[in-house]
Amino acid sequence: MSRWPLTRGALAAVAALIVTGLGAYFGLVAPKAREIARLEPQVNAVAQPFDPPPVSAVSIGDTERGLWDELQMRVRARFVAAEDQPRALGEATALARAAGLDVTAIALEPAQPQAQAPFAPPPLAANVVTIRLTARHRFADLIDFLDDLHHAKIYVVVASLDVKRAGGELESEIRLLSMRWQQ
Taking CA atoms, 181 is separated from 35, 101, 117, 156, in Å, by: 64, 29, 16, 12
- Condensed to tens digits (0 to 9), the pLDDT of residues 60-96 reads 788 888 888 888 888 878 888 778 888 888 889 999 9
- Condensed to tens digits (0 to 9), the pLDDT of residues 133-183 reads 999 999 999 999 999 988 888 888 888 899 999 888 899 999 988 877 765
Question: What would you report as the CA-atom Rg of the chain, rounded to the nearest whole angstrom?
Answer: 38
CA 55 to mean position of chain CA atoms? 29
Domain spans of the chain, in order of start: 7-47, 80-181
Sheet order of strands, 156-166 included = 102-110, 124-137, 169-181, 156-166
- pLDDT score, position 135: 94
Q: Are 61 and 159 in contact (CB under 8 A)?
A: no
- pLDDT score, position 18: 93
Q: What's this model's pTM, rounded to 2 decimal places?
A: 0.56
- What is 80-181's CATH superfamily? Ribosomal protein S6/Translation elongation factor EF1B (3.30.70.60)
Mark out the alpha helices in the chain (DSSP H runs). 8-24, 30-47, 62-77, 85-98, 139-148
180: left (phi over 0), alpha (psi -120 to 50) or beta: beta
- Condensed to tens digits (0 to 9), the pLDDT of residues 6-42 reads 788 888 888 999 999 998 888 888 888 888 889 888 8
% of the chain with per-residue pLDDT over 70: 84
Give yes or no for residue 102 having a pLDDT over 80. Answer: yes
How far is 54 from 43, CA to CA, in rounded Å? Answer: 25
